[in-house]
Structure 1
Amino acid sequence: MSTLSARALVLEEPGTAPVLAEIEVLDPGTGEVRVKVAASGVCGTDGHAIEGTHPLPYRPVVLGHEGAGVVESVGEGVTGLKPGDHVVCALAVPCGTCRQCRRGLSEHCNSPARRKAMSGVRADGSTRLRYRGEPAYPFFGVGTLAEYTTLRQEQAIRIDESLPLDEFSLAGCGVVTGYGAVLNIAGVQPGDTVVVVGAGGVGVNVVQAARAAGATTVVAVDGLPAKLDLARKFGATHVIDASADVAAELAAIEPDGADVVFEVVGKPELLAMCLGLTRVGGACVMVGIPPMGSQLSFDAFTLSANRRVLGCRGGAVVPARDIDRLVALYRGGNLNLADLIGQRIELDDVFGALDSLGRSAFARSVVVF
């Protein structure tokens, strides 16, 4: 093995423009694999990092966190993976040893090891990437907007070679977050009424997951007509323009309100509205990531009717478990990945994709290497 050079999208400081540059990808260490990235989604959270609304404790950062590729080489101690294996790059890998993990609640792991890994730092404080001769840190521990990256073996979830890597690149974040919000957090049941506020890349996955879980009424709310059309394609039974009186529109569909409302925009000011759309005993799930330091404001009396406000950290995902579930749903015809991809682009075109985040008529741009 030897150190590889790779083109990558690098963010030197939040609030500045990222650059396409050469990085060095070091040999995988013990328990690590080096992956030749086949495809990477361009997600809104990449945009938040660039804007400075998503915290970046270590910099510079190699952006990208939705990816899939082929194992190029493996380090010592790697079991279950070999060069040539096709993998999805996963973000939130539990440590396996903290109190939550030992209690069987690994989706709630919050150990220092997991927090470091999510910041792109290995257990010993180092990183396998170099930019201009200095350490660089993979976004969310994966850094998939690069030709190569190095992962912990637990972050490389093997999938069958017959599955399309460009489509399954999205499984690492947007798809699994949407499905996790529905199945792991909210526990949507057959017959439920669900409202999804925000029909972007994650929102439409909430829509299709809710339908797969048996929800009979799924209402999508968005301010862009193209996003409402997209939500219909993914199974929304009704749509509401966000500029309308959403509560009145929902009351005409379901007078008692929704069993579950998902806020998938990341705007704290929307929570009061979302909570008001729930029925007695209903739940509001915050899937969107609000800016650090933002505050919530709503009438606390609303909660006296057994309503719940639920957080959602990446869909409470355990990658080895949940990505396998996505594969099963895909093979069973219950997971539409192809229509999530609005455009396949080269790495040189990534700036246009970043500029259109939140405004495009489709769910995702995918960089294909």
Structure 2
Amino acid sequence: MSTVKARALVLEEPGSKPVLAEIDVLDPGPGEVRIKIAASGVCGTDGHAIEGTHPLARWPVVLGHEGAGVVESVGEGVTDIGVGDHVVCALAVPCGTCRQCRRGLAEHCNSPARRQAMSGVMADGGSRLRHGGEPAYPFFGVGTLAEYTTVRRQQAIPIDPALPLDEFCLAGCGVITGYGAVLNVAQVRPGDTVVVVGAGGVGANVIQAARAAGASTIVAVDGIPEKLDLARTFGATHTIEASRDVAAELRAIEPDGADAVFEVVGKPELLSMCLSLTRVGGACVMVGIPPMGAQVTFDAFTLNANRRLLGCRGGAVVPTRDIDRLVSLYRGGALNLAGLIGRRLGLDDVFEALDQLGRSAFARSVVVF
């Protein structure tokens, strides 16, 4: 093995414009895997990092966190996957030893080891990426908007090489977050009424997950008409333009309100409305990531009717379990990945994809290497 050079999208400091630069990707250490990235989605959270609304602990950062590729080399002690294996890059790495993991609640792991991995630091406290000779850190521990990256073994989830990597890269974040919000957090049941506020990349997956879970009524809310058209293709039975009286239009569809309402925009001011749309015993799930320090105000009496306001950290997933679940849904025709991709482009055009975040008529741009 030897250090490889790779082109990557690097954010050098808060508030700066990301740059395309050559980085060095060091050999994988013990328990690590170096991956040749085949494709990476461009997610709204990358945009939040650039804007500074998603705080980062270390700089510079190699952006991208929705990736899939082929194992190029493995470090000492890695014996269960090998060179040439196809993998999806996963964000969450349950430690397996903390109290939550021991109780069978790995999706709630918040151990120092997990936080360290998410900040792009390996078990030995270092990084395997170099920018200008100095350490650089992979976003969410993966840094997939690069030709190569090195991750912990637990973050490389093997998949069948027959599956398309340019589609399954999206399973690393947007798809698994949407599905996890429905299946793991809200636990939508057959016959439920679901409302999805924000029908973009993650929202489209909330919609198709709700359909797969058997929801009978799925209402999409968005301010971009083309996104509402997209929502219908993924299973929305009704759509509401966001500038209209959403509560009144929902009452015309379902007078008692919804069993589950998903806020997928990340705007705290929408949470109060979303909570008010739930029926007695219903759940409001905050899927979008709000800015740090943002405050939410709502009538506390709303919760008196057994309503629940729930957080949703990445879909509360365990990657080894939930990516396998996505593969099964895909093979069964219940997961549409191709329809999420509005544009495939090269790394040189990634700035066009970043500029379209939140404004495009489609769910995702995918950078193909």
Instruction: Give the TM interval when normalised to the shorter protein.
Output: over 0.9
Distance in 2 (CA, whole Å) between partners of 1:121 and 1:238 is: 44
Give distance in 2, aligned partners of 1:303 and 1:203.
25
Query: In structure 1, what is the Cα distance between the partners aligned to 2:172 and 2:336?
Result: 15
- The 5 A counterparts of 1:192-211 are 192-211=192-211
Counterpart position of 1:8:
8
Q: Which amino acid aligns with 1:247?
A: A
Deviation of 1:123 after TM superposition, in Å, equals 2.0
Match of 1:69 in 2: 69
Matched with 2:321 is 321
SS at the partner of 1:295?
coil
How many angstroms apart in 1 are the aligned matches of 2:142 and 2:240? 36
Equivalent in the alignment of 2:47 = 47
Query: Deviations along 1:31-60, whole A, 9 cap, x unmatched?
Result: 111000000000000000000000100000
Q: Distance in 1 between matches of 2:267 and 2:345?
A: 29
1:78 aligns with 2:78: yes
1:79 CA displacement: 2.2
CA distance in 2, matches of 1:280, 1:56: 38
CA deviation profile, 1:117-145 (whole Å, cap 9, x unmatched): 00001122100000000000000000000
Q: Letter of the 2:317 partner, please give it.
A: V
In structure 2, distance between residues paired with 1:294 and 1:123: 32
TM-score (norm 2): 1.00
The equivalent of 1:130 in structure 2 is 130
The count of corresponding residues between Structure 1 and Structure 2 is 369
Displacement of 1:355: 0.6
Match of 1:106 in 2: 106
Q: Which amino acid aligns with 2:273?
A: M
The alpha-carbon deviation at position 80 of structure 1 amounts to 1.3
Q: For the residues of structure 2 that align with 1:42 and 1:306, how far apart are their CA atoms? A: 38
Secondary structure at 1:202's aligned position in 2? helix
Once the two structures are superposed, what CA deviation does each residue of 1:95-133 show, in whole Å capped at 9, x if it has no partner? Answer: 111111111110000001100100001122100000000
Per the TM alignment, residue 327 of structure 1 is displaced from its structure 2 partner at its CA by: 0.2
Q: Secondary structure at the match of 1:38?
A: strand
Q: Which amino acid in structure 2 is aligned with residue 276 of structure 1?
A: S
Structure 1 residues 140-155: aligned runs within 5 Å: 140-155=140-155
Report the TM-score when normalising by structure 1: 1.00
Give matches, 1:270-309, under 5 Å.
270-309=270-309
Please report how far the alpha carbon of residue 252 of structure 1 lies from its aligned counterpart in structure 2 after TM superposition: 0.5
Determine the structure 1 residue equivalent to 2:19: 19
Give deviations 1:288-325, integer Å, cap 9, x for gaps.
Answer: 00000101110001011110000000000100000000
Aligned alpha-carbon RMSD (Å): 0.4
Deviations 1:245-299 (A, max 9, x none): 0000000000000000000000000011001100011010000000001011100
4+ long deviations beyond 4 Å: none
Structure-2 separation of matches of 1:235 and 1:14: 39
1:232-254 CA distance string (max 9 Å, x none): 01000000000000000000000
Give the match for residue 216 of structure 1. 216
CA displacement at 1:335 relative to structure 2: 0.1
Deviation at 1:94, TM superposition (A): 0.3
**The residue matched to 1:121 in structure 2 has which SS?**
coil
| Equivalent-residue separation in structure 2 for 1:328 and 1:168 (angstroms) | 12
SS at match of 1:127: coil
The SS at the match of 1:280 is strand
Q: Distance in 1 between matches of 2:52 and 2:14?
A: 5
- Rounded Cα–Cα distance in structure 1 between residues aligned with 2:201 and 2:35: 25
Shift of 1:15: 1.1
Partner of 1:265: 265
Identity between Structure 1 and Structure 2 (%): 83
Q: Which amino acid aligns with 2:160?
A: D
Partner of 2:189: 189
SS in 1 for 2:201: coil
Structure 1 CA distance for aligned equivalents of residues 124 and 159 of structure 2? 29
- Superposed displacement of residue 14, structure 1: 1.8
Measure how far apart 1:93 and its partner are.
Answer: 1.0
Partner Cα separation in structure 1 for residue 186 and residue 79 of structure 2: 34
| 1:139 equivalenced with 2:139 (yes/no) | yes
What residue ranges of structure 2 are gaps of 5+ in the alignment? Answer: none
2:354 alignment partner in structure 1? 354
For 2:158 and 2:284, the matched residues in 1 are separated by: 34
Matched, 1:233 2:233: yes
Residue identity matched to 2:219: V
Question: Unaligned regions of 5+ residues in structure 1, if any?
Answer: none
Residue type at the aligned position of 1:354 = L
